[in-house]
Amino acid sequence: MTSVSLLTNFIDDMTICFLIFFVTNFLNKDAKRHAIVGDMLVAIVVGIFGLMFQSLNLIIWVLSSIVYQKLRYHQLNYEFLNRRLFAIVLSYLSIMISDGIETFGRFMLRKYNIINISNDVGAYFYIILYIIITVVSAITLKRSEIYSNLQEKIADLEISSTIFRILFFLVISFVTILLISQIARITAVIQIPLILIFSIFIGLTLIELFTYIKSYSYKRDAEMQVVQNQQLKDYLNSIEQQYQDIRRFKHDYNNMLLALEEFTKKDNQKQFQEYYQELVKEKPIKDDLQKLTISHIDNLQNEPLKGLIIQKFFTAQKTGVDLQIEIDDPIKINNTDILPIVRILGILLDNAIEHFVEKKEKEV
């Protein structure tokens, strides 16, 4: 940007800040409309500080947000920070494109003596241009399935902190280029190729980001498949053990009936009583069979949930808790809704198992 008045500079910084707030809230599913007033007030304050710190104002603002979250909440909300950093990257990419168009347009107008416009008029044209580019880009992203799927993938894979570092690096790169442009007073001849090169760099970085998320997703799916296969193997071993116990119990039961029949024929009450006491001692066999029950597990038509329940079943078995699970009706849940359900069900089962570990009657 060329030299402009303080008022134009203030409007520029304030508009940039407000656009970043707008994109951050617009991309949020739970955005609150009344926050626009607070965003406007903060944008005015940032615009005033921008007159003093210029491009450093952006990095000071980002670092202040990080420090504020750390001090108040003792942790970073990476989902919010990633939206904020992405909004900054999107807004400043629009700004650089608009700046290049405005600079090139002014250069061509002067070269062919068409019209000579003031720096402030050119700046207002550039501001209007980057507002349009940013808003159109944000609306396009909001309606795109790619962005929503990307958000779900990042949350599912729990790589928000990695995405934060990548986006923070891009923001630092933006600030560096802006500072160099201001200090060295780069002309349009150099600035336009610089913007083009950096735009390509951003594109390659985003492609690399998508590739990383996709590769990490495949790796995570493979690891989950290994865990599910092990869970299925353990469950099949348990079913086989139940089958062997049932066969043994059936065989012993038939022998017991034959022995009882002989005692009744001989009318031997003493031996009958002794044998009856032995039968009572065999009751744990029946109890063991009852404890190994996941009724109608096939009714659960979702592999992650099925794997979770089987895993918790064996966890309960190791701690000595009798976990009875009955699934009488078929249950099918869409994969898009499965993550919160798995987390909630896992927490409920863990709490139930931990609660009954200390109880005398360990039945859930």
pLDDT single digits (tens) 52-108: 766 666 777 777 778 878 887 788 888 888 888 888 888 878 877 887 787 778 778
Residue 20 lies in a domain: yes
pLDDT of 16 > 50? The answer is: yes
Share of the chain above pLDDT 70, in %: 66
Three-class DSSP category at 9: helix
Strand ranges in 13-60 using DSSP code E only, listed in sequence order: none
Residue 217 lies in a domain: no
| Residue 255 placed within a domain | no
Better pLDDT: 109 or 228: 109
Using the predicted structure, report yes or no on whether residue 266 has a pLDDT greater than 50: yes
Buried b (16+ CB within 10 A) or exposed e, 94-103: bbbbbbbbbb
Which residues lie closer than 8 Å to 90 by C-beta, 6 or more apart?
23, 134, 137, 138, 141
- Measured between alpha carbons, how far is residue 305 from residues 221, 225, 293 in Å? 15, 13, 17
Q: Are residues 324 and 180 in the same domain?
A: no
**Alpha carbons 364 and 316: distance in angstroms, whole number:** 9
Distance of CA 120 to the CA centre of its chain: 44
194-243 tens-digit pLDDT = 667 777 777 777 777 778 777 877 777 777 777 767 766 766 666 666 66
Looking at residue 298, which CATH number applies to its domain?
3.30.565.10
Return the pLDDT at 192: 62
**How would DSSP label each residue in 149-213?**
HHHHHHHHHT-HHHHHHHHHHHHHHHHHHHHHHHHHT--HHHHHHHHHHHHHHHHHHHHHHHHHH
**Buried/exposed code over 202-234 (b: 16+ C-beta within 10 A; e: otherwise):** beebeeebeeebeebeeeeeeeeeeebeebeee
**Total domains in the fold of the chain:** 2
Q: What is the pLDDT of residue 259?
A: 64
Q: Which of 186, 201, 228 is the last residue of a domain?
A: 186
Contact indicator for 345, 304 with CB cutoff of 8 Å: no
Determine the pLDDT at residue 284.
47
How far are the Cα atoms of 162, 318, 355 from residue 313, in angstroms, in the given order? 34, 9, 15
Query: Which residues fall within 8 angstroms of residue 42, CB to CB, at 6 or more apart?
Result: 17, 21
Phi, psi at 330, each rounded to 5°: -60, 135
pLDDT at 38: 73
Distance of CA 173 to the CA centre of its chain: 26
Decide if pLDDT at 261 tops 70: no
Note the pLDDT tens digit of each residue in 170-184. 778 777 776 776 666
State the angle between helix axes of 145-157 and 338-357 in degrees (0 to 180), rounded to the nearest 10: 20
Single-letter residue type at 270: K
Has residue 264 been placed in a domain?
no
Q: Which residue has the higher pLDDT, 79 or 298?
A: 79
Within this chain, do residues 50 and 166 fall inside the same structural domain, yes or no? yes
Instruction: Give residue 292's pLDDT.
Output: 45
When pLDDT is averaged across residues 9-34 and rounded to a whole number, the result is 78
Here the tokens at position 160 are 């928000």
Percent of the chain with pLDDT over 90: 0
Check whether residue 174 and residue 301 sit in a common domain: no
3-class secondary-structure state, position 363: strand
Segments forming the whole domain that contains residue 83: 6-186
What is the pLDDT, as a whole number, of residue 277? Answer: 65
Is there a domain that residue 23 lies in? yes
Split at pLDDT 50, 70, 90, the class of 289 is very low
Q: Which of 152, 186, 220 is the last residue of a domain?
A: 186
Region 157-166 average pLDDT = 81
Higher-pLDDT residue of 29, 354: 354
Taking residue 294's Cβ as centre, other Cβ atoms within 10 Å add up to: 19
pLDDT at 286: 47
> Are the C-beta atoms of 95 and 191 separated by less than 8 Å?
no
Residue 232 CB contacts under 8 Å (≥ 6 apart), including other chains: 307, 310
Give the pLDDT confidence score for residue 356 in this predicted structure: 78
| 308 Cβ neighbours under 8 A, 6+ residues apart | 342, 345, 346, 349
Residues 98, 126 contacting (CB under 8 angstroms)? yes
CB atoms within 10 A of CB 49: 15
pLDDT at 268: 59
The answer as to whether 134 is a domain residue is yes
Domain boundary among 129, 162, 186: 186
User: pLDDT band for position 290 (50/70/90)?
Assistant: very low
What are phi and psi for residue 34, nearest 5 degrees?
-70, -10
pLDDT score at 288: 47
Is a pLDDT exceeding 60 seen at residue 270? Answer: yes
Q: What is the pLDDT of residue 47?
A: 74
- Both tokens assigned to 336: 């898009």
